Chains A and B, each alone.
Chain A
Amino acid sequence: MSILVLAEHHDGALVGATAHVVAAAQAIEEEIDVLVAGEGVSAVADAAAKLDGVSKVRVADNAVYAHQLAEPMSALIAELADDYSHVLAAASTTGKNVLPRVAALKDVAQISEIIAVESPNTFKRPIYAGNAIATVKSDDALKVITVRATGFDAVAEGGAADVEAVDVVVDNTQSTLVKEVLAESDRPELGAAKVVVSGGRGMGNGENFKLLEGIADKLGAAVGASRAAVDAGFVPNDMQVGQTGKIVAPDLYIAVGISGAIQHLAGMKDSKVIVAINKDEEAPIFQVADYGLVSDLFEALPEIDSFL
């Protein structure tokens, strides 16, 4: 038996998370196929074929899979799933939308957001906003799993897997895309950035996030925010780092004016180096920071900017 990995792609390009999911699949030690479903996705398939460890790329290229709506996607995967022991996808909004639907269609449980593979049927996953780690075992014949990308280092590129077409076409009369509005930004995506600069309630208002953006641009960083900053209406929800937002693990995470609620820590504590800037020296963020600077952020940020 082998593993089917659902490729994550956007705007005709493979999304980095896929390489992490393939790494998770490799940890299960089976043969790995990648499914690329969408419309006009040959470039995505070619990119997926280069990922180390991939045996075969299966391409379902049809208008019904455009925008990867859950209803046709889950029907497609459910149809293919009988050939596999595991179906894996990134714990992205696409993976989370589609895979539980696949699991229910196959009458099996889903294991969400695994961060480690213990054996082909036993996995570790965070629960209670990352305040506990559960080890769970599935006895289902088919394991349907979403993978937290930060839990696995991406596989390298160097492979040359076969690419073959899948001719399964399903009907979809239930859902249509009306529009997609993506935040326009030259900065890297939060989940993929090597450096993330995040602001919290201490930023005071949305305007002040410009201070972070200047620094982020110089560092090639993404800009994030705590839930408090989102709740206060400073910035949109898609910038939120935390248990209920994005989970990030960049090489460098700079938390500015963020107190460090457990909700937020759960979303960034796996970052390699954490810097905290906060005027409250008791802020819990300092307990996880490698480098802490107790300072008024409105003084510290311009100074940092001048050093870069």
Chain B
Amino acid sequence: MNFTFTDDEIAFQDAAKKVSAEVLKNNAKHYDETREFCSDSLKALGELGFWGMNLPSEYDGVDISSIGMTLAVEEVAYYCAATCSSLTAHFLSTDSILIGGTKQQKQDFLPRCAAGELLGAFALTEPGAGSNPAEMRTKATRTEEGWHLTGTKHYITNGAYADFLVVYAKTDPEAGHKGISAFLIERGTEGIEYASPEKTLGLRGSHIYEISFDCVVPESALLGEEGAGFSTAMEVLDRGRVEIAAMSLGIARAAYDDSLAWSKDRVVSGKPLCRHQGIQWKLAEMHTQLEAAKMVTYKAADSRDSDRRFSVESAVAKLFASEAAAMITDNAVQIHGGYGYSSDLPIERYYRDARITRIFEGTSEIQKLIIGRAITS
């Protein structure tokens, strides 16, 4: 077992930290307060090649290990979780193309995604099908003009801002999982309607949309093979969960660092907070949770680069890191007291931003199902 990072991984972490600390951090509060979309921060990352972190150099990506990518995602989340959410949602769309697309589709889309020119969105979830995609009702029917898509997706991160959507739809309603296919739909296609962005508890700079479809797209919009959509989506989500774990880690570490610094500065009853045993224990628990979350997350990232299935590792990482982020951000508010509850400090934002990590890309309960089924099979 090797607990050191490679030079490349550290270089990516440093690069992500620098731009996040100097650019993203300055925008984070503004996005949260105004609910403005994180365009500038996302664009800054795009110009530097962050949008192609998940891609191989064959498609103008960077060939970085998943651990290197995880470290970079963590830094982005540390300074602006909303931007991180939009970035990782983009990765779900490009991972879909990378895993499920034809060579032509990859060549058409991925280099421009890596260059920060095309932003993607991943449209799987529906009002009636969250945790179980097989229950989706969006369908695509082959017609003479092309595929006719009808249905509604919701909670789609980047929605109206995305240059293209990867939309999962049933092409054979009788075939269960195997009847799901994915489609690459470009913005501006006639028959797509975006509702107003949802008013969310956290990640307010990363908009999520309900999108309804009644549109016809050409045959070439079918991503890869008909009926391969479900397996593509599952593989994409296995990968994506590692990124959500990294995002949870980033938020948690920001909350922990701020709490530790605060506890050293803030004097209560004649001594710094950190000299009070009750607070020290809280900090020790937070530290332990954070360290453990790092280990499972980096391990999942490492597994992701292997040829093995890593569904369990990524579910463990996502489950543990998101729950740890909840515990750590909650304690951070507690340690800061009233100051933590007020929006003068970013603590309450961490607390709100962390909440969704236990829900999206598979709730904690779904992660337990994945893990439970695997270990008892």
Contact = CB atoms under 8 A, between A and B. Distances in A.
A282 B338 CA distance: 13
Contacts of A280: 344
Contacts of A282: 339, 344
A284 to B, nearest CB: 9
A211 B339 CA distance: 31
Contacts of B344: 280, 282
A282 B258 CA distance: 14
Interface in A90-122: none
B332 to A, nearest CB: 16
Contacts of B339: 282
Nearest to A284: B265
Interface in B230-255: none
B272 to A, nearest CB: 13
A280 B344 CA distance: 9
Interface residues of A, number: 2
Interface in A252-308: 280, 282
A228 to B, nearest CB: 11
Nearest to B345: A282
Interface in A193-208: none
Task: Tell me the dominant secondary structure on chain A's binding face.
Answer: loop
Interface in B121-177: none
A282 B339 CA distance: 10
B348 to A, nearest CB: 15
Interface string B312-341: 000000000000000000000000000100
A283 to B, nearest CB: 11
A282 B337 CA distance: 14
Nearest to A281: B344
A280 B343 CA distance: 12
Nearest to A287: B265
A24 to B, nearest CB: 35
A307 B344 CA distance: 32
A282 B345 CA distance: 10
A136 B40 CA distance: 48
A279 to B, nearest CB: 10
Interface in B327-375: 339, 344
A285 B46 CA distance: 37
A264 B319 CA distance: 43
A249 B142 CA distance: 79
A280 B339 CA distance: 12
A234 to B, nearest CB: 16
A200 to B, nearest CB: 15
B112 to A, nearest CB: 34
B76 to A, nearest CB: 23
A280 B342 CA distance: 13
B121 to A, nearest CB: 35
B154 to A, nearest CB: 40
Nearest to B266: A282
Nearest to B262: A282
A203 to B, nearest CB: 17
A104 B186 CA distance: 65
A279 B56 CA distance: 50
A282 B266 CA distance: 10
A151 to B, nearest CB: 28
A183 to B, nearest CB: 29
B205 to A, nearest CB: 22
Nearest to B339: A282
B175 to A, nearest CB: 60
B56 to A, nearest CB: 39
A282 B267 CA distance: 12
A282 B344 CA distance: 10
A280 B345 CA distance: 11
Nearest to A280: B344
A257 to B, nearest CB: 16
A282 B265 CA distance: 10
B291 to A, nearest CB: 28
B146 to A, nearest CB: 53
A282 B340 CA distance: 13
A74 B339 CA distance: 56
Interface of A: 280, 282
3 contacts: A280-B344, A282-B339, A282-B344
Nearest first, the 3 A-B pairs at minimum CB distance are A280-B344, A282-B339, A282-B344
